[in-house]
Amino acid sequence: MPSNTTRIAKNTLMLYFRQILIMLVNLYTVRVVLEILGVQDYGIYNVVGGVVVLFTFLNSAMTNATQRFLNFALGQDDAEQVRNVYSASLIIHIAIAVLVVILAQTLGLWFFHTWLNIPYERQAAAFAVYQFSVATTVIGILQAPYRATIIAHEKMPFFAILSIVEAVLKLGVVFALPVILFDKLMVYAFLICITGVVILLLHKLYCNRSFEAARFRHCGDKELFRQLLGFSGWSIFGGVAQISRYQGINILVNIFHGVTVNAAMGVAAQVNAAVYQFVSNFQIAFNPQIVKSYAARNYDYFMRLIFRTAKISFCLLFLFVLPLYANADFILQIWLTNVPKYTVAFTRLILFFSLVGAISDPLGMSIRATGDIKNYQLILSCFIFASLPVSFLFLLADFSPVWVLIAKIGLGALALVWQIFFLGRKIKLPVKGFFFEVIIPMFIIAGISTPVTIFLQSLFIDDWSRLIISCIVSTVTIGCLMYMIGLNRQERILLGAWVKKIVY
């Protein structure tokens, strides 16, 4: 599979270039927005937007279904089926957008007025933010079929360019805020909504011009609708659980501790999103190949991709997590002019939680490739959803809000162990091999590189020196350990050939 490996490598590099630029823009944007809006308004923006996101569980489920069925049809080289999947998914996403508007303007408004802990003088602004957030969410739902089509066809250069354009537009919004004479919170939410409209139109224009299949036509294939809705129907459990874990906990924190702690949670989430996007880009490059290899019944390559994606995802993320964890206080202090309380602790814990996700996400990709996700999604959703009642109990007992993230980490680790054994039965994943080739080597890499990095950086007093040393030491130790014990013989040969091709 040299051509597939080369394609994955090229797509990954393109997405990495995109992510470096986006990360810099996003981190700067968060800093300026927090400074201009203030901790209170920034917290309001995060928690109000979170209420709207609660109603997008249908969209997240349907997006996964669209991605899977497009990849499967492409893997079988069935152009007619690709056209049908695109048209059917577009119809379903429009229906989801309508349903989200109905839910947001009824149940959502009731929750907004009844439960959210928002200062009285900012309630009018918060209501305007809520309505703009609804519009932005609907735009994102309508964008999903186009995004899935671009990724399924592995057109990562355009995907990267469009993401950079979106980041630049959001940066322009930030630059406009200081000269705005109206309420800055409301104007910010409005301009973010307009940015979404522009990006949706660019997605549609590119897909309609580049892919013959991406032109809407009547689709009367009832069986395809049944399959799409059936697949997404079970994914809904996962979508509800994921949203409850992220946005539900955010709302609980608001109820018990107010918008200031929401601001800290929002900053930590932005840091994690910026870092985890490096891993997401890598997995986006691998995901089409995982599904296509299963569709083509190339099961040996399918298994190799699962192992390889899990290992490399963990190490790529750990390269960023280790120096960030060791220098969180200093990095946040130089990044933000005003660091909200709990931000350092939230950032460290949410980064640690993401390490678990780096290994578990490829396992989720593999089960979605089969199309049979009923039992998997039901049980996994129970692990994920458990974070909400556990967090509620901690907060009710007057524990620190830090404990909600500790609960997420513990439940995430348990879910990962269950995933491995479940996939051993479902798709014949070599459980013993996965532990010995992925889990144990990753523990060894983390167990050696962490104390080495922290010890060597502790020899320096100056904060900048400590940061630089930790970055260098962690990169060298993780890289060397990954090559020696993380990669198998075939992967080392592939890596060597790829490096030689770049150098020569």
Non-local (6+) Cβ contacts of 437 within 8 A are 307, 311, 488
Mean pLDDT for back-to-back runs of 10 residues, the chain (504 residues): 55 62 73 78 74 58 70 74 81 84 87 80 86 87 83 75 83 84 85 91 88 72 73 65 74 82 82 74 73 81 88 88 90 81 89 89 83 79 86 90 90 92 89 92 93 89 88 91 86 73 59
Q: Is 182 helix (H, G, I), strand (E, B) or coil?
A: coil
Strands of 325-461 (E only): list them.
Answer: none
Number of neighbours of residue 502 by Cβ within 10 angstroms: 9
Non-local (6+) Cβ contacts of 28 within 8 A are 171, 174
Amino acid at the residue 440: I
CA distance 190 to 118: 20
Q: Is 263 helix (H, G, I), strand (E, B) or coil?
A: helix
CA distance 196 to 204: 12
The answer to whether 98 and 234 are in contact (CB under 8 A) is no
Residue with the two structure tokens 């944007």: 29
The answer to whether 210 and 27 are in contact (CB under 8 A) is no
pTM: 0.69
The residue count of the chain comes to: 504
pLDDT digits (tens, 9 = 90+) for 231-282: 666 666 666 677 677 777 888 888 888 778 888 888 888 777 777 776 776 6
**How confident is the model at residue 1, as a pLDDT?**
45
**How confident is the model at residue 2, as a pLDDT?**
47
**How confident is the model at residue 393, as a pLDDT?**
92
CA distance 85 to 64: 13
All structural domains of the chain with their residue ranges: 25-257, 260-432
Question: How open is the CA angle 370-376-378, to the nearest 5 degrees?
Answer: 135
**How confident is the model at residue 62, as a pLDDT?**
64
**How confident is the model at residue 197, as a pLDDT?**
93
pLDDT digits (tens, 9 = 90+) for 339-370: 888 889 999 998 888 899 889 888 888 887 77
Q: Give the distance, in angstroms, between the CA of residue 93 and the centroid of all CA atoms in the same chain.
A: 20
Kindly list the distances between the CA atom of residue 495 and the CA atoms of 8, 10, 16, 53, 119, in Å, as whole numbers in the listed order.
13, 13, 17, 41, 56
CA distance 30 to 301: 41
